[in-house]
Structure 1
Amino acid sequence: MDNSIPEWLTIAPTWDAVNHPLEVGICSTVRGHAGKIPALYSIPALPYIAPMKIPLTLSVLLLLSACSAAPNREYTASDDRMNDLVMYTVSLADTPYRYGGNSANGGFDCSGFVDHVYRHSLGITLPRTSREISRVGTPISVDELSPGDLVFYNTQHAAYSHVGIYVGDGKFVHSPRTGESVRTEQMQMRYWKTRYNGARRIHRTLQ
């Protein structure tokens, strides 16, 4: 008897999961035949897989699939706190400038304003001057700016002599100078663009 497998046969797997490896059942699918003619050939097949392992494997795959499909949280608790910080920053608009000031009642200078906002919103105390604050946290590029990051400028012929809080959409809030009040500025204005020194992100692990 010729045990070779004709090219016109279709291989269909069958299982004997108790005592035997996977056997392969061969059924003819020749055009013109009304039905299938069963035949069985002894050919190498896949290794035996215990019946109990199959449901376990399927369960693991389904679990992994469910995890990968789970939606990501759009905001973390830290992001919520930074959003609150930005809202509080904007709410201080029109507070008058006062040299050395760091309170909403008494007024702010630029570094006092930033320190007050971070202490009030996150419980983080920052150094007293803008230059010292520029050494805290991590330097970031303009493209990496997120609301709550700090932006620094040269407004007194010295690098990092001024600081404000980025609030998104290319804007920052700061306490400018004597006779003026806390307000929002566009970073793309020529005055600010030409005096830009960089940005820092305060480590949120300090919260």
Structure 2
Amino acid sequence: MKVQAWTSMDGAARPADRSRRHCALMLAGSLVAALAGCSSAPRSRPGPGAPGGSVRPVAALNLTEDLREALLARTMLVVNTPYTYGGNSPEGGFDCSGLIQWAVGGITAARLPRTTSQWAQVSNPVDGRDLQRGDFVFFNTLGGRYSHMGIFVGNGQFVHAPSSGGTVQRVRMDNVYFARRFTEARSIFA
């Protein structure tokens, strides 16, 4: 549909302006709805090491520092993989916590969590000034402290699985959307 722009004498909004505002509101609503998948429990899927059942971590992870670069290498391998709600593999796509589960699963045999809030429970707080490559960054995108997450990769950037229709991507921490929603950094490294 083509919207013709015109100017009224009384300063009323032009049809093209209303259309742009409507599109912007629809896009923002879609982004919020898509990010909801990150904080929700995924569709029922067995996790690694738990045939037919969900994985429930029993203790905090404290991996050795020498695994940081292996985590980053694994994470960077799947940049541009499509977002899929509940996804946790390169073949099936990723949501934000599924990306983390897959990446960490490649460097440890430990039982791993699935949701963003579970990842927060098994990781340790990191002061923002001490943020290191391989640490997790959490965002409040839906009214919850841990509704979205990614992996910090250095140079002020993190990798995450953003939303429906998107792909796993590298984004700057000072991105206007994420900078306002950043809640904390956490680490699974001792």
Query: Could you tell me which residue of structure 1 aligns to residue 98 of structure 2?
Result: 112
Count, aligned residues: 128
Could you tell me whether the CA contact under 8 Å between 1:115 and 1:125 is conserved in 2? no
Aligned position for 2:168:
182
CA distance in 2, matches of 1:146, 1:102: 24
Counterpart of 1:95 in structure 2 is 81
Deviation at 1:187, TM superposition (A): 0.3
Distance 1:162 1:185, change over 3 A: same
CA distance in 2, matches of 1:125, 1:169: 30
Runs of at least 5 residues in structure 2 that lack an aligned partner in the other structure: 1-63
* Contact 1:130/1:161 (8 A) holds in 2: yes
Distance, in Å, in 2 between the alignment partners of 1:126 and 1:140 is: 20
Greater fraction strand:
1
Aligned equivalent of 2:187: 201
Q: Matches of residues 74-85 of structure 1 in structure 2 within 5 Å?
A: 78-85=64-71
1:136 to 102, 113, 122: 122
Query: 2-side partners of 1:180 and 1:125: how far apart?
Result: 28
Taking CA–CA contacts closer than 8 Å with sequence separation of 6 or more, which of the two structures ends up with the larger relative contact order?
A: 2
1:79 is displaced (CA, Å) by 4.1
- Alignment RMSD, CA only? 1.7
Preserved CA contact (<8 Å) 2:87 2:98: yes
The 1:125–1:176 alpha-carbon spacing in structure 2 relative to 1, beyond 3 Å, is farther
Greater helix percent: which structure? 2
Determine if contact 2:136/2:149 at 8 Å carries over to the other structure. yes
State the identity as a percent: 40
Deviation at 1:125, TM superposition (A): 3.7
Of 143, 168, 191, the residue aligned with 2:177 is 191
Runs of 4+ in structure 1 over 4 Å off: none
Paired residue type of 1:155: T
- C-alpha distance in 2, partners of 1:142/1:164? 15
**Deviation of residue 103 (structure 1)?**
0.8
Q: SS state of the match for residue 192, structure 1?
A: helix
1:159 positional shift: 1.7
Structure 1: 5+ residue runs without aligned partners?
1-77
- In terms of Rg, which structure is larger? 1
